[in-house]
Every structure is written in structure tokens, then in C-alpha cells.
Amino acid sequence: SGLTAARGSLSFPCSFAVWRRLEPCYRGGRVQVSRDGRFMLCPCGTKLNVIDVETGALNHSLQQEDDEDITSFILSPDDEILVTGSRALLLKQWNWRENKCVRTWKAVHIAPVASMAFDSTSTLLATGGCDSTIKIWDVVKQYCTHNLKGSSGVVHLVEFHPDISRLQLFSSSIDYKIRIWDLNSSKCVATLDGHFSAVTSLAFADGNTLVSSGRDKICMVWDLKTRKSKRTVPVYESVEAAVLLPEKGDFSQLGVKKQGLHFVTAGSKGILKVWEVATAACVHTQPVPFELKEEASERSLTQCTFVPARNEIVTVSVEHNIVFYDAQTLQLRKQLAGYNDEVLDVKFLGPGDSHIVVATNSPQLKVFELATSHCQILYGHTETILALDVFRKGLMFVSCAKDKSLRVWRMSRDGSVSCVAQGLGHAHGVGAVSCSRLKESFVVTSSQDCTIKIWNIPESITSKAKAALISSPETLRAKVTERGHDKDINSVAVSPNDRLIATGSQDRLAKLWSCSDCSLLGVFTGHKRGIWCVQFSPVDQILATSSADGTLKLWGLRDFSCLK
């Protein structure tokens, strides 16, 4: 029907409407979970998104009218008052559940607000500015109560002392010191000096003990009576957050053997660690499905918070992945992908197309459950994943990447995905992959090294009973390798009967190969630029190719002539 329509006037048999979108919900900055644990607030450019934690779905968005990016926000401890600050130097107060802005006022800062904090009674709001001042606002009576001057550079951290009767505010800025402000006198009454890089978090253990974390790879425990350091804990990685474990509760699975202060750190290595203050020792390191890197990477953690209502610890990574762990065991509970960057490939997966697997500009794969937006992040590749293909039954799929490897993954009945095999042997990044169509028997890959490789899939991987016993991925070796083209091979496809392979290359040629021994059967010549995609017709003996020359050509497989 398509061919006849193309000859006459174009009439299409059907049109499509969008059913579902997986859109960015978080683009960096601090996230906050409501006190009841039901909602999570995520900044996304000019919007602040309210996410339902249980389903991962976007509940609604708070949109700034001035179209300026939100630079900081805070939700009060009683979940009632939300305040946002934007580049327009305005503060807005929201009735956030009903998506209403109830009041807008000038921040009086001469540069954007970088940090905010509420006191424990949800009455006072502190705003730390990029103009090196701190303002304190009475949000009930709606006026500015204090203007604290004397910090150097951006005030990126403000926290009220939890005991409001002390009327103390703690802050930190670019000089790495922690300042204590007395709100009775509006003066800085003490400076805690000990960090050699930015202080990233402050946590109060009790009225007189403070734990600070820093990018100088240490955490410090301070006595607020003497205002001196009690202990320095070397963490051996740049620390973005230190979170105190509650004194009540069984944390024995996290190495907590005796009473006393313990805290969790998150930072550049991308893993959670538990520390005992009394000994400055690491008592537990979270097991993770990836190799640790010494330097910062896309897996590094930028934030970590404890959510008492859910008994969970939430982490946020550089790659905008938001992950919930059980606080007692650090077992994974839930993953949400905030932002996908560039999408390089996407395929349906699972029984009845229940999931999609997505290759983004990243070494991690993401598998989204379409019903809930829940995301599994799959670790294994070490460089950007370039292409994907799924076997016919929809439970096994293959990924290939710039790290010169391919990986075979399998989805179990409960929907969890694990890597069952890895193939090595290409000399350059592997840019295209195609699975056998009839059975789960082989995979074809093509690479920037101008070769095509055929890999047999062993029965130990395809049979369910044996696959369940696989603890680490099997290593695959290519059955046959053929230099196929003179330039990068951009696309590879397997015919519906598993007998033929087609390749398309930057050298403007498409070629047809025999599956059994990779012998060349014919060449399709005629495109004036590189070929980006080749596909076999599901019903006819026809190959389709698309090219950078702006044309799409249909070829006969018998005589290699261009039909259209």
C-alpha cells in the first residue's frame, strides 16, 4: 500500500497520537523529599517538578512565570511552605500541592540565592546569596529580620541549629570555614576552621555535636560547647554529604555493633560508606555492581538524605539518577532516572513489550517499566553504549559500546535484568548489532575497525534452567570475522530466515553476506554518501537502505538492483 500511495497522492492508512512520554524530570541541583515521604521535589530548569515517589510519575510542575531558572528552593519541615528562588532575584512562596504561587517578593540579594534553610518551627527562612550575604525572613509575618554580612564569596550552605531557643545559624562559603551567627546580636560569634576545601553538608547529632563533610576528603566532628574539633574522619574521597544514622533502630547489617554516633557518607566514588565516630573507622561499605574509580565519574554521588517516613536513604548521582535504599541494609529499593541526555537507541523489551531498554550518552543502560516509570540502571560497559537489539521472545537482548565489547543481558520473570555474557575482540568501538531472528542462536556486530563478527550464543545462556546458575558473565569469542568495508560500518541487519546479513557503511556501499561463513554474496551500489541504516523487508526479498544523501532505496536481493 505504501508503494501505491507514493505513486499517487499521499494518503496514510492511520495516524498516531502520543500515548506516553518519558521526559526529563530533574536536571541538577538539590532534590527534597516531603516529610511524609510521598513526594519528591526536583528542579528542572525553570520548573520545579513534584514527583510521586511510589509510582515515579510526575504529579505536577510548578512553573516560574519569569522563565528564569530556579537556583534554589526549600520545603518547610511541616511540608506546608515551599519557597523558590530564581535568577530574576525574586523569591516565591507556593501552595505547592495546588500549584499556586501565593506571594512574590524581592530577595534583596544583588546576586542569585544559592542556598536556603528553614528553622525547625517552619517560621524563619535563611537565604544564602552569591553576593556573600545571608538574609533571614519571617515567612509568617512576611518581613526580613536579619541581614548577615561577613562571609566571603558564595554562601552555598546555611543551616539553623535544631534547638530554636539558641537562635543560631550556621553557614559556609568559599573560604571553607563554618561560621556560627547569633541571631540576637546579628553577629558572627565563632568560626569553625578545619576544612581545606568546600564544606558540603552539616548534620547536628545533638545540641552540642556537629558533623561536617568536605571535598577535602574528610568529615569533621565538632564540639559546639568548646567550638573545637573533636575528631577528624579521613574518608579518602571527595564527600558531598554526611548523613547521621538514627540512634534508635537496628543497623547491625551496616556494621553498627555498639552504641554511639555513626554516619553515612556519599561522594566521588559513587558508593555509600558507614563510619563510626568513636574510632573514625569505616564499618561498612555498600556492595555495588560496578568497579570503583578513584577519580570522579558519572556515577559520583552529589547528594544523600535520610527519609524517616520511608526508612530509606536517597542518593542522587552526577548522571541525575535518583536511587532509594533501605536504611537498615542499603539494599536497593527503587531507581528513577531524572535525565537521559542524548538517546542513542531504544527498543521494546519484556513479555508484551512491558519495558523499554534505552542507550543514552552513558556507559549505563536504563530499563524502564512502562506502567510505572521505574528504572533499572544496568552497569557493565565502561564507555558509551552505541546500539541495542532484542531477541524475538523479548527476554534477551544485546548491547554494544565504545569500549570495544558487546554484552548479552537477560530479563528474569520478576523483571530484573542481569548480564549473562560478554564478547571481546573488536579493535575499535562497536557501533551496530543485530540478533538472530528465528532462535536465540547468534549475534552479528560491526565496528569502526571495518569488520563484522558473528558470535554464537551458547545454550548455557539461552536455556532458563542453566542461565539461572550463571554467577558471572560468560566470555564469548567470535565464530567468524570478516573485513567488510573500507570505512566505518554504521548498520548491520539479519534477515528474517537467519540466512543473510546486510551491512551499510560510510563507504556508500551496502553488502549482502551469507550467515553460515560470512562469504560476500553481492554489493548494492548507488548511494552518493554514507549509509546509516539497512533493513530487510519482513515479507519480500527486498533490502531497504537510508543514506546521508537524503534518499531511501529499495533493492532486490536476487539481482542487487535498485527497485525504487
Residue of 46, 52, 47 whose CA lies nearest to 33: 52
Q: Domain boundaries in the chain?
A: 223-339, 343-556
Rounded to 5, what percent of the chain is helix, strand, coil? 5, 50, 45
- According to DSSP, the residues that pair with 512 across neighbouring strands are 502, 522
273 vs 372: CA distance, rounded Å: 30
**pLDDT at position 9:** 64
Which CATH number describes the domain made up of 223-339? Answer: 2.130.10.10
Residues 363 and 180: their CA atoms lie apart, in Å, by 43
Whole-prediction pTM: 0.84
**What's residue 468's pLDDT?**
55
Bridge partner list, 61? 49
Widest CA span in the chain: 91
d(CA 423, CA 407): 6
410 vs 417: CA distance, rounded Å: 5
State the pLDDT at residue 88: 85
Give SS3 for 254: helix
**324: helix, strand or coil:** strand
Residue 199, φ and ψ in degrees, nearest 5: -80, 130
Environment class of 531 (CB within 10 Å of its CB; exposed 0-12, middle 13-18, buried 19+): buried
Residue 163 near residue 170, CB atoms below 8 Å: no
CA distance 392 to 497: 12
User: Which is it for strands 90-95 and 100-106: parallel, antiparallel or unpaired?
Assistant: antiparallel
Alpha-carbon gap, residue 420 to 432, rounded angstroms: 20
Cell numbers representing residue 295 in the block: 577519580
In this prediction, residue 537 carries a pLDDT of 96
One-letter amino acid of 490: N
- Reported for 494-497, long-range contacts at CB under 8 A and 24+ positions apart, including other chains, are 494/434, 494/435, 494/436, 494/437, 494/444, 494/536, 495/437, 495/536, 496/437, 496/438, 496/536, 496/538, 497/437, 497/438
CB 433 within 8 A of CB 388: yes
- Are 56 and 372 contacting, i.e. CB atoms less than 8 angstroms apart? yes
| Rounded CA separation 185/227 (Å) | 18
Q: Identical fold at 223-339 and 343-556?
A: yes
Q: Which long-range contacts (CB under 8 A, 24 or more apart) does 337-344 make?
A: 337/366, 337/368, 337/375, 337/377, 338/24, 338/25, 338/26, 338/27, 338/42, 338/44, 339/24, 339/25, 339/26, 339/27, 339/28, 340/22, 340/24, 340/366, 344/384, 344/385, 344/386, 344/387
Q: Is the dihedral of CA 380, 385, 387, 388 positive or negative?
A: positive
Distance, in Å, from the CA atom of 131 to the CA atom of 143, rounded to the nearest integer, reads 20
In the block, cell 539518577 appears at: 321
Q: For domain 343-556, say whether CATH 2.130.10.10 is its number.
A: yes
Please check whether residue 201 is in contact with residue 157, taking contact to mean a CB–CB distance below 8 angstroms.
Answer: yes
| First-to-last C-alpha distance (Å) of the chain | 14
Residue carrying the nine cell digits 555498639: 258
Question: How confident is the prediction along the chain (564 residues), in pLDDT tens digits per residue?
Answer: 444 444 456 778 888 998 888 888 888 899 999 999 999 999 998 899 999 998 888 888 998 776 788 999 999 999 999 999 988 888 999 999 999 999 999 998 999 999 999 999 999 999 999 999 999 999 998 899 999 999 999 999 999 999 999 999 999 999 999 999 999 999 999 999 999 999 999 999 988 999 999 999 999 999 999 999 999 999 999 999 999 999 888 999 999 998 899 999 999 999 999 999 999 999 999 988 777 777 778 889 999 999 999 999 999 999 899 999 999 999 988 888 888 888 999 999 998 899 999 999 889 999 998 888 788 999 999 999 999 999 998 899 999 999 999 999 999 988 899 999 999 999 999 999 999 999 999 999 999 889 999 999 998 887 765 555 557 889 999 999 999 999 999 999 999 999 999 999 999 999 999 998 899 999 999 999 999 999 999 999 999 999 999 999 999 999 999 999
